[in-house]
Amino acid sequence: MGQHVSRTDFEWSYTAEPHATRRKEILKKHPEIKELFGHDPRLKWWVLFLVTFQIASLFVVRELAWPWVLILSYAVGGTINHSLMLAIHEISHNLAFGHSRPLANRILGMFANFPIILPFSVSFKGYHLEHHKFQGDEKLDTDIPTATEAHLFCTTFGKMVWMFLQPLFYAFRPLVTYPKTPTLLEIINTTVQMVFNVIICYYFGVRCLLYLAGGSLLAMGLHPVAGHFISEHYMFQHGYETYSYYGPLNYLTFNVGYHNEHHDFPYVPGSRLPQVKALAPEFYDDLPQHDSWVRVLYHFITDPAIGPYARIKRKHAGFVKEE
């Protein structure tokens, strides 16, 4: 089973999350960063290209043997689906069509959702914006593992299993810890996604449906691009709760690695986040950062000081942490 993690609880903080304060300090010194605010008109074309590529690839996949389907689902289809998930992340901030056209952003998010198979784009927006506003909140930030997860997956082997199952925890954790009444747009998202799934199954076969679904699951678990899930907010250095990564996998993930910059300025599209760092290097260069998502995954699994407990949490108003 490997070593047991050294932590037995989360790191509890009684100060506000750091990004709002740093945003004010940066804008006071570098007001020109405001010029980077706004949507990225190229985002919709990237989404169109990626969705079209995934659908076109099914003409090849349906003729392949199962071993090749599995390999390509992990290496190609899963990587592209993960890119689409991060396009949906961008869209959740209205960065495809701007804040004046929220419905257009939601429709594009549903379209980007198609190859991923599991309908989530509309629901993700609500939960993700609360993750930004209430980072670390024990109820409202559903990015944080539950105490049950942290307790159960507390060995080297357990952390590896938890990483493999991470997409399921991300999908179902909010439904358990912070359920919300489904909105009309969520119902529409689910309905059109199910119609798409049936069409794929009917015209291309179960093999192609599983190729897409399997890629989504595999690329969120033990996969290089999935390293960002761990690198972003797990406490690799005491007292620091957000980390950036400036390596080449940002090209596949809409620069989500620029995560301190993203939390400081969530209305700057990923394509312009490197400019934020370039304009205000004195605020970012000395922060702890990662240079490899693969190394992040390795250290998370093998280092007993790191694990699901290695997150900074804050009490939610009306909630009292049990001792």
- Whether residue 218 is predicted with pLDDT greater than 90 in this model: the reply is yes
Q: Which pLDDT score is estimated for 317? A: 73
Q: Which pLDDT score is estimated for 320? A: 45
Cα–Cα distance between 120 and 128 in angstroms, integer?
Answer: 11
Q: Which pLDDT score is estimated for 322? A: 43
Q: Which pLDDT score is estimated for 3? A: 87
Average pLDDT, integer, range 226-241 = 96
Side-chain-side CA neighbours of residue 142 (13 Å): 21
Task: Kindly report the three-state secondary structure assignment for every residue of 139-171.
Answer: CCCCCCCCHHHHHHCCEHHHHHHHHHCHHHHHH
Banded pLDDT at 187 (limits 50, 70, 90)? very high
- Whether residue 135 is predicted with pLDDT greater than 50 in this model: the reply is yes
Q: Which pLDDT score is estimated for 321? A: 46
In the chain, the percentage of residues whose pLDDT exceeds 90 is 95
Exposed, middle or buried by CB within 10 Å (0-12, 13-18, 19+), for 36? Answer: middle
Cα–Cα distance between 32 and 30 in angstroms, integer?
Answer: 5
Average pLDDT, integer, range 142-171 = 94
- Whether residue 319 is predicted with pLDDT greater than 80 in this model: the reply is no
- Whether residue 14 is predicted with pLDDT greater than 50 in this model: the reply is yes
Average pLDDT, integer, range 156-164 = 95
- Whether residue 157 is predicted with pLDDT greater than 90 in this model: the reply is yes
Q: Which pLDDT score is estimated for 1? A: 67
**pLDDT tens-digit profile of 24-83?**
999 999 999 999 999 999 999 999 999 999 999 999 999 999 999 999 999 999 999 999
Pairing of strands 289-290, 244-245: parallel
In the chain, the percentage of residues whose pLDDT exceeds 70 is 98
Predicted TM-score (pTM) of this structure? 0.94
Cα–Cα distance between 37 and 32 in angstroms, integer?
Answer: 10
Spatial neighbors of 212 by CB under 8 A, at least 6 apart, are 54, 58, 73, 77, 81, 115, 116, 117, 200
